[in-house]
């Protein structure tokens, strides 16, 4: 018997709903260049040693809007919705997994968390037709190569509009 396909919307956490760079600026006491995904060894050591690093991130300005829109995909279209996040590639933040789950339970307890576990593994969650909403270009490119659709969320205002358009397109198709 063939399994019924239900599309899934995956939303990235850090940089999309959790403001990692804003928190990093505060911890480092210096502005963070959001255009780069690289940290100096000194910066990263200071960040990773911060107790509850991922547990205490503030929400991004668009976090609630993104999640409420994701809930529409779930509630009106019957899609699955998950946060798809990653831990640092060196796995050198021992509480990253538990901190991220804690963060989600605190802010959005109705959305389950899935781990890549690393950014390079996010594509492994993709089935054709699934959608990734992520701020990392390489994650979006790999997702598309795996047969999914991706919305690059570097500019959250633009990306939210694109997600709204996708919802409207899917809603018209669904009826």
Cα distances (angstroms) measured from residue 174 to each of 5, 40, 42, 51, 77 = 14, 48, 51, 46, 7
pLDDT interval class at 1 (50, 70, 90): low
Does 172 have pLDDT greater than 90? Answer: no
Letter string b/e over residues 41-77, b meaning 16 or more CB atoms within 10 A of that residue's CB: eeebeebeebeebbbebebbebbebbbebbbbbbeeb
Integer-rounded Cα radius of gyration of the chain: 16
pLDDT at position 152 is: 98
pLDDT interval class at 4 (50, 70, 90): confident
The percent of residues above 90 in pLDDT, for the chain, comes to 78
pTM for the model stands at 0.93
Specify the CATH class of 8-174 in words.
Answer: alpha beta
Contact 56, 96 (CB under 8 A): no
For the segment 93-111, the average pLDDT, to the nearest whole number, is: 96
Copy the structure tokens of residue 58: 């503030």
Q: Any idea where the domains of the chain sit in the sequence?
A: 8-174
Cα distances (angstroms) measured from residue 114 to each of 6, 86, 150, 156 = 17, 8, 17, 21
pLDDT interval class at 30 (50, 70, 90): confident
pLDDT at position 33 is: 73
Does 121 have pLDDT greater than 70? Answer: yes
pLDDT interval class at 34 (50, 70, 90): low
Contact 101, 71 (CB under 8 A): no
pLDDT at position 62 is: 98
């Amino acid at each position: 018997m063939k399994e019924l396909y239900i599309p899934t919307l995956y939303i990235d956490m850090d940089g999309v709903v959790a403001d990692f760079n804003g928190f990093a600026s505060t911890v480092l006491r210096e502005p963070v260049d959001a255009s780069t995904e690289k940290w100096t060894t000194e910066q990263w050591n200071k960040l990773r040693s911060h107790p509850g690093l991922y547990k205490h991130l503030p929400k991004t300005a668009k976090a609630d809007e993104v999640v409420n829109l994701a809930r529409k995909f779930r509630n009106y279209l019957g899609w699955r919705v998950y946060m798809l996040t990653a831990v640092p590639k060196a796995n050198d933040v021992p509480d990253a997994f538990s901190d991220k789950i804690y963060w989600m339970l605190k802010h959005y307890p109705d959305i389950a968390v899935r781990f890549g576990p690393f950014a390079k593994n996010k594509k492994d969650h993709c089935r054709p037709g699934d959608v990734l909403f992520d701020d990392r270009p390489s994650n979006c490119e790999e997702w598309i190569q795996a047969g999914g659709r991706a919305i690059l969320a570097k500019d959250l205002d633009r990306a939210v509009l694109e997600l709204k358009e996708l919802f409207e397109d899917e809603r018209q198709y669904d009826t």
